[in-house]
Amino acid sequence: MGEYTLLYILFAPFAGALALIFVSNRQFMLVRGIAAGSAFVSLIASLYLFYAFDPVKGGYQFVQKFEWSKQLGISLHLGVDGIGTPLVLASGILLFAGIFVSWHIKDRTKEFYIWLLILAAATIGVFMSLDLFFLYFFYEMSVIPMYLLLGMWGSHTKKYLEMTEPEGLKLRDSVGFIFNFGSNSKEYAAMKLVLFLSAFAVAALMGILLIYKYSGLNTFDILVLREQANLMNIPVLGTTLDKIIWMLIFFGFAAIAPLWPLHSWSPVGHAAAPAATSMLHAGVLMKLGHFSIIRVAFEILPDTTRELMPMAAVLCMFSIIYGGFVAFYAKDTKYVIGYSSSSHMGYVFLGMAALDYISLSGAIIYMFAHAMATGMLFAMAGWVYDQTHTRDIPSLGGLSNKMPFISGCFVVGCMASVGMPGTVNFIAEIMIIVGAWNKYPLQVIVAVLGIVLTMAYLFKMMRSLFYGPMDQKHSHSHDAVSAVDRLPLLIMISVSVGFGIFPMHLYNVVRSGVDPLIAKITHVVPVASQERDASDMTREARADSPLTNPVTLPDVSRLTSHASRSDQ
């Protein structure tokens, strides 16, 4: 694949969506085959990208640049570093898995796969864009398919369906219903998602345009802006321009993360979305916020980031605890997982706020790990809903008798989400906690309590779904027995456990992107550079040592003393 790897990853889903336009909806297997084939190309290319990425070399690799408008300074500039590479891989995995999770959809199958492919391609485009114009372009592109996937193939919640009865119509049309987030229709969820993301995206766009205007460089190229843009000390409205831009970028992108109190659209969207859409929503769409903040605010405004990022350390506590408690009391399976995702995104913000090599590396790894764990849980919640036609947890139970494979995978998904040793989530959580402890001990204590809370609500849901007595009206339910149904779960489990046991390549890739970024923000020489310098000094000392002279026999005591001083 070589230098064109990023183009294969990005345009394979677009090519699949384009090809599906010319296929009849009656040709079910051809539609599914084209969707699976294009997703497979993107997956294989993303795997090649991940393992061909050179962490020793670091920086941006596989770079492609196509000039789009010389006058405006816009170009399709693609490239990945150690931060974007694992997220591109996560998008490829979840897209391929989502194709098979949606294998049994019969309602407008072609259109569903077209929008699912476009959604995945848009998220991939954000993760590899090195131009602010196209980063924002792909970011906004992801909103359109989300609206259609929720509004056309989504589902109403149980409480909303109750309000369609004659005695519930009055309540359903009341103002109070609008603010009752547990009783939403799929159309309401789709509109709420679009309004939230579009409104805050406008704030982010204002920040991007201010960077373009006042940098004086006439370019949207992130690599040029991070080296030459100087937006500090320009007085605006009683403060400085760099702070205003940073706030616009941070809160504009934090809404999709989602950071409390900008989070309420996300669990509603999870509850209404079909399973594959929920997987991409929680797995990669929510990470667009964290990634965009890192790529724009961290890269271009490092000094302002160091000054203002502590506010994220305060807000992340509310995300962790609030999301955890709502998930504990929720009665809908997708609401539990949705609020769990909102809670877990607080850990990413904690790792980012600490501005430490270990904590930020843990935050990036956690984004990847969370994508796998939450993808599993949403896929299995979708399977349970397809079999029982309900997501109401109290009305379910005993399903392990009918679904032994699904129940076993659900245990693994819960273990991964909690951060059990042996999964990649454990490594990420430990890194965030250790890296943030010195700077934010209170937030770390809250994060640890959040892990306990996660264990409580996930185990509670698992027990209520799969154990205890089973209602006979669900006796017709059956397990995932075909290869098509089991493949996506086995892929995500293998990735989560595989990187949990063999994490070093993932860690090295991430650190190659984190080290220079933290060094720029904190003005401290990267740890990796310190280690290389120490290694060089040791080699020089050994070269000067009398041991290199085959004739002279050195005094052992002097040699030991000399070596000790060299190590120091």
The separation between the first and the last C-alpha atoms of the chain, rounded to the nearest angstrom, is 46
Q: For residue 262, name the pLDDT band (cuts at 50, 70, 90).
A: confident
Question: What is the structure's pLDDT at 482?
Answer: 85
HSE at residue 35, side-chain half, CA atoms within 13 A, is 32
Place of tokens 């391609």: 121
Q: What are phi and psi of 358, to 5 degrees?
A: -70, -45
Q: What is the pLDDT of residue 168?
A: 47
* Residue 479: predicted pLDDT: 81
Mean pLDDT of 532-542: 48
Say if residues 348 and 407 touch (Cβ distance below 8 Å).
no
If one compares 548 and 385, the residue with the highest pLDDT of the two is 385
Q: From CA 349, how far away is CA 317, in angstroms rounded? A: 9
Which residue in 295, 363, 283 sits closest to 78, CA to CA? 295
d(CA 470, CA 407): 14
| Overall average pLDDT of the 306-318 stretch | 86
d(CA 252, CA 220): 18
Residue 45 has pLDDT above 90, yes or no: yes
Side-chain-side CA neighbours of 18 within 13 Å: the count stands at 6
pLDDT of 563 reads 38
SS3 state at 142: coil
Judge whether residue 355 has pLDDT over 60: yes
Say if residue 40's pLDDT is above 90.
Answer: yes
Q: Span 533-548, mean pLDDT?
A: 46
| Range ranked top by mean pLDDT from 98-107, 229-238, 261-270 | 98-107
Most confident of the ranges 72-76, 85-89, 536-540: 85-89
Structure token digits, residue 259: 């950071």
Local structure of residue 259 (DSSP, 8 states): P
Per-residue CA distances from 509 to 202, 345, 372, 505 (Å): 33, 21, 18, 6
Report the distance separating Cα 231 and Cα 227, nearest Å: 12
Percent of the chain residues topping a pLDDT of 90:
21
- For residue range 492-533, list pLDDT tens digits in order: 999 999 999 999 999 999 998 898 888 888 866 555 445 444
**Amino acid 316: pLDDT:** 84
Q: Is the pLDDT of residue 282 over 50?
A: yes
pLDDT confidence of residue 443: 87
Average pLDDT over residues 199-223: 87
Q: What is the mean pLDDT of residues 393-420?
A: 86
pTM, 2 dp: 0.83
Q: Is there a contact between 298 and 354 (Cβ–Cβ < 8 Å)?
A: no
Rounded to whole angstroms, the Cα distance separating 327 from 320 reads 11
